[in-house]
């Protein structure tokens, strides 16, 4: 019901300026058991050197969420959007019928981030981009929705997927619960710290694939920052 994917077991690519770990198949990494989790297709754990990054490249028909853990990423795209997203904040891009974008670390320090891809509800549509700060203090001891494809999730960045992206910061000893509905799929990664999920320890940057139809109890073994996607 809960599959642990330890950080050391993830796909790995070292490109000099980019040190990447892949929770799911990506580029040259292929594991038939890790093609996707429901509509979650990609969860990359990227470390990007200063003054480097991804040059302009195309995407289509994918919801792309970037959660910055340290440093900042600067976005530019073919729609004319440009913006800087700092640590703890989030940007989303709905690729729709097609868009070209670049993501650069223009900071003097290494930037670390999670990039998450989720399949959209429908293909096509005009591409879009947005970003928003999410102060960590406002998600202390509870999950806050950062991005959502559902009406009523006020304050969340909109995505075109049957999914929510949530985050929480928890102090050692604090406990959270999360219910994954029947037929849904959740994937959870502690960005920092160590946690226990129903008696299993997960260290920083380990992944937890959680099946639907259950409520899990998450206990912080250390002060931790947690990112969770709940999707179809």
pLDDT of residue 139: 96
Confidence category of residue 40, pLDDT binned at 50, 70, 90: very high
pLDDT of residue 5: 98
CA end-to-end distance (rounded Å), the chain: 16
At 148-164, the pLDDT tens digits run 999 999 999 999 999 99
The candidate with the shortest Cα–Cα distance to 125, out of 81, 58, 39, 61, is 61
Beta bridge partners of 189: 227
pLDDT of residue 60: 97
Tokens in use for 193? 């710290």
Angle subtended at Cα 55 by Cα 107 and Cα 103, rounded to the nearest 5 degrees? 45
pTM of the model: 0.96
At 83-141, the pLDDT tens digits run 999 998 999 999 999 999 999 999 999 999 999 999 999 999 999 999 999 998 899 99
At 46-61, the pLDDT tens digits run 999 999 999 999 999 9
pLDDT of residue 97: 98
DSSP states along 127-156: -EEEEE---GGGGBTS-EEEEESSTT-TTS
Q: How far is CA 29 from CA 7, 33, 50, 133, in A?
A: 15, 12, 25, 32
What gap in Å lies between CA 32 and CA 53, rounded to an integer? 29
At 195-232, the pLDDT tens digits run 999 999 999 999 999 999 999 999 999 999 999 999 99
Mean pLDDT (whole number) for 164-168: 98
pLDDT mean across residues, the chain = 97
pLDDT of residue 76: 98
């Amino acid at each position: 019901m809960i599959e642990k994917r330890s950080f050391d077991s993830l796909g790995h690519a070292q490109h000099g300026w980019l040190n990447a770990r892949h929770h799911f198949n990506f580029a040259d990494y292929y594991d038939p058991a890790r093609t996707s989790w429901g509509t979650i297709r990609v969860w990359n754990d990227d470390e990007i050197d200063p003054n480097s990054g991804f040059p302009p490249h195309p995407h289509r028909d994918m919801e792309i969420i970037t959660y910055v853990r340290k440093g900042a990423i600067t976005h530019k795209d073919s729609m004319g959007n440009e913006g800087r997203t700092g640590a703890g904040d989030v940007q989303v891009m709905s690729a729709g019928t097609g868009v070209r974008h670049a993501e650069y670390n223009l900071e003097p320090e290494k930037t670390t981030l999670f990039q998450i891809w989720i399949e959209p509800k429908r293909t096509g549509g005009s591409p879009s981009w947005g970003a928003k700060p999410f102060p960590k203090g406002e998600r202390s001891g509870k999950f806050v929705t950062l991005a959502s494809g559902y009406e009523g999730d006020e304050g969340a960045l909109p995505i075109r997927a049957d999914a929510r992206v949530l985050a929480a910061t928890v102090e050692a000893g604090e406990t959270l619960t999360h219910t994954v509905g029947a037929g849904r799929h959740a994937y959870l990664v502690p960005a920092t710290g160590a946690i226990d999920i129903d008696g299993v320890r997960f260290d920083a940057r380990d992944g937890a694939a959680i099946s639907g139809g259950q409520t899990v109890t998450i206990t912080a073994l250390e002060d931790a920052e947690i990112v969770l996607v709940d999707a179809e």
